[in-house]
């Protein structure tokens, strides 16, 4: 079984997220999503989420492409996650291009093109207008 992992906040879930998850799942048999915790988002990413970790986790678990949701608690856990879950492919949006190449020592690294016309940042900006 080929295992794939991706990481993210997945706040204000939208079709761009679904496109990423669908394409990530297509690269293997089992998709794990490491979901940023509220503490990680607040303390290290300086992000404030609309939905709580538990709400975002519940949404992700309801998506047919997602097999398992685990907490992302810090930037450094990626190598240990890859080892623990025996990951074959690490997937992330191409806005991170090159930033995770160090993981190529542990698994395949794939940067997927983002859905261009949608983002959580854009949604939040439009809601403020």
User: Which residues are catalytically annotated?
Assistant: 45, 47
C-alpha gyration radius of the chain: 14
């Amino acid at each position: 079984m080929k295992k794939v992992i991706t990481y993210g906040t997945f706040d204000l879930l939208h079709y761009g997220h679904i496109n990423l998850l669908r394409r990530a799942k297509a690269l293997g048999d089992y998709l794990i999503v490491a979901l940023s915790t509220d503490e990680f988002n607040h303390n290290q990413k300086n992000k404030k989420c609309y939905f709580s970790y538990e709400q975002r986790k519940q949404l992700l678990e309801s998506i047919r492409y997602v097999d398992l949701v685990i907490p992302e608690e810090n930037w450094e856990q990626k190598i240990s996650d890859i080892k623990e879950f025996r990951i074959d492919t690490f997937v992330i949006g191409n806005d991170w291009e090159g930033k995770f190449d160090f993981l190529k020592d542990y698994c395949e690294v794939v940067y997927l093109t983002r859905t261009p016309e949608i983002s959580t940042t854009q949604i939040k900006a439009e809601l403020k207008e």
